[in-house]
Amino acid sequence: MSTITILVYKWDKRLAMSKKQPVVRVPERTLHLLALLCGWPGALIAQQWFRHKSQKRIFIAVLWLTIIINCSALFGGYYYWQLG
């Protein structure tokens, strides 16, 4: 999933730099959904590699929220299976 997320970030960055108008960009909602579906490591890598969405504070805050949700689900699932 991280690979797909990196590719989508790269594609959106390319669209953002395009000189052609109008350009249909990848919605931020889609980028967050990819991160939520376990693509968050790829999202963090893509932000650094491509310098994409790395200055938007609200975007970064929501990305970290998806990371917290993923980690909580992982630890919660681990804890649940240890009880069983």
Q: Both tokens of residue 48?
A: 């650094």
What is the per-residue pLDDT for 84? 64
pLDDT tens string 8-36? 999 999 999 998 888 999 999 999 999 99
Q: What CA–CA distances, in Å, run from 65 to 14, 73, 75, 76?
A: 26, 12, 15, 16
pTM reported for the whole predicted model: 0.88
What is the per-residue pLDDT for 81? 87
Tokens 């968050």 sit at which residue? 40
Helix axis angle, 2-17 to 40-50, nearest 10°: 30
Average pLDDT score over residue span 38-66? 95
